[in-house]
Amino acid sequence: MDDDRDRIRKAVSIVDLVSAVTTVKKTGRNHMAVCPFHQEKTPSMSLDVARGLYYCHGCHQKCDIFTFVQENEGLTFPEAMERLAAMAGITLTRDPAAEKRQGQKRALIEATAAAVDFYHQTLIGSDEGLSYLARRGLEEPALLARFRIGLANRTLGYHLPQRSRADGRAIRGRLAKLGVIKETGHELLRGSLTAPYFDAAGRVVQMYGRKITPNLRAGTPKHLYLPGPRRGVFNLDALRESRELILCEAILDALTFVSAGYDNVTSAFGVNGFTE
Ligand code: ZN
């Protein structure tokens, strides 16, 4: 892995890489680029050709060819390695253990995406879910589709392959690992509207659940997340496209703004849930 990294570093020029996505100007010995990570007209990102590094004097983003590709395209480090290796015509040293880990990670990502889709389809066909949303003025199908809003109503298990089958065990195992299904076999977010949080590459990395079942037992939390870190951003396009943001405490509040025509809105993970 480290050898591959060095080979790629030697083969790929930071100037070529950055020039492919933004304007780069050469002034004397220095190369200055219009920073792709913040809005500007005058170049303030300096490129260190010898060491393959960049630094933006405006937004202070800095690092090397690998992070540049990761940030710019929303990739993980191994994905950025693959991308750069392909660019430089380098064949990566195969690492079966790392490939296996990658494969498992991919399977988990697909399982989460499948759960999000299933919940969205469930909501579209549910009077219970849609009438709750209608009371809050949020039943517009395009809005619900755009943010992949869903409903967990305890039916996920019926739609998975049987536990006695290998594929059934595999997908249940993945959903359990993600926390979508608890050890008891129940869905964590049952009785809730659901909404996914996406990362920069468009992968679901967290899921929010808002209980809508009436007469909950006292002390039942109304707002739930999958176990693990609070990751991802709700309505990431808003952060990319707007300099001004409306920050809401929860996703349904944010949807209210969107449905009223304010697209530049995002949501924290609850009152004390404003993550990095
Ligand atoms: Zn910048």
Going from the Cα of 250 to the center of ligand 1, the distance in angstroms, rounded, reads 30
**3 state DSSP class of 155:** coil
Q: What's the confidence (pLDDT) of residue 182? A: 92
Instruction: Please state, in angstroms and rounded to a whole number, the distance separating the CA atoms of residues 270 and 251.
Output: 9
The percentage of the chain sitting over the pLDDT mark of 70, rounded to a whole number, equals 99
Going from the Cα of 57 to the center of ligand 1, the distance in angstroms, rounded, reads 7
Poorest-pLDDT segment among 47-61, 95-109, 116-130: 95-109
Going from the Cα of 50 to the center of ligand 1, the distance in angstroms, rounded, reads 21
Q: What's the confidence (pLDDT) of residue 100? A: 83
Going from the Cα of 56 to the center of ligand 1, the distance in angstroms, rounded, reads 5
Q: How confident is the model at residue 191 (pLDDT cuts 50, 70, 90)?
A: very high
Q: What are 163-184's pLDDT values in tens digits?
A: 888 888 888 888 998 899 998 8
Going from the Cα of 223 to the center of ligand 1, the distance in angstroms, rounded, reads 36
| Residue from 23, 17, 68, 19 nearest 41 by CA | 23
Going from the Cα of 22 to the center of ligand 1, the distance in angstroms, rounded, reads 12
Going from the Cα of 129 to the center of ligand 1, the distance in angstroms, rounded, reads 43
pLDDT higher than 70, residue 1: no
Residue 158, class by beta-carbon neighbours within 10 Å (0-12 exposed, 13-18 middle, 19+ buried)? exposed
* CB 130, CB 140: distance < 8 Å: no
**3 state DSSP class of 3:** helix
Poorest-pLDDT segment among 11-15, 29-33, 90-94, 234-238: 90-94
Going from the Cα of 55 to the center of ligand 1, the distance in angstroms, rounded, reads 8
Q: What's the confidence (pLDDT) of residue 240? A: 84
Supply the mean pLDDT for the chain: 90
- Give the Å distances, CA to CA, from 27 to 33, 54, 117, 271: 11, 16, 51, 48
Instruction: Please state, in angstroms and rounded to a whole number, the distance separating the CA atoms of residues 145 and 179.
Output: 23
Q: What's the confidence (pLDDT) of residue 13? A: 94
pLDDT higher than 90, residue 262: yes
Going from the Cα of 77 to the center of ligand 1, the distance in angstroms, rounded, reads 21
Q: Note the Cα 102 to chain centre separation in Å.
A: 17
CB atoms within 10 A of CB 24: 19
| Overall average pLDDT of the 252-268 stretch | 95
| Residue from 88, 97, 83, 78 nearest 7 by CA | 88
Can you name the residues that pair with 198 across neighbouring β-strands? 204, 233
| Enclosing H/E stretch for 81 | helix 77-88
Question: Which residues lie below 8 Å from residue 129, measured CB to CB, with a gap of 6+?
Answer: 122, 123, 151, 153, 193, 212
* CB 182, CB 190: distance < 8 Å: no
φ, ψ of residue 100 in degrees (nearest 5):
-65, -45
Going from the Cα of 261 to the center of ligand 1, the distance in angstroms, rounded, reads 29
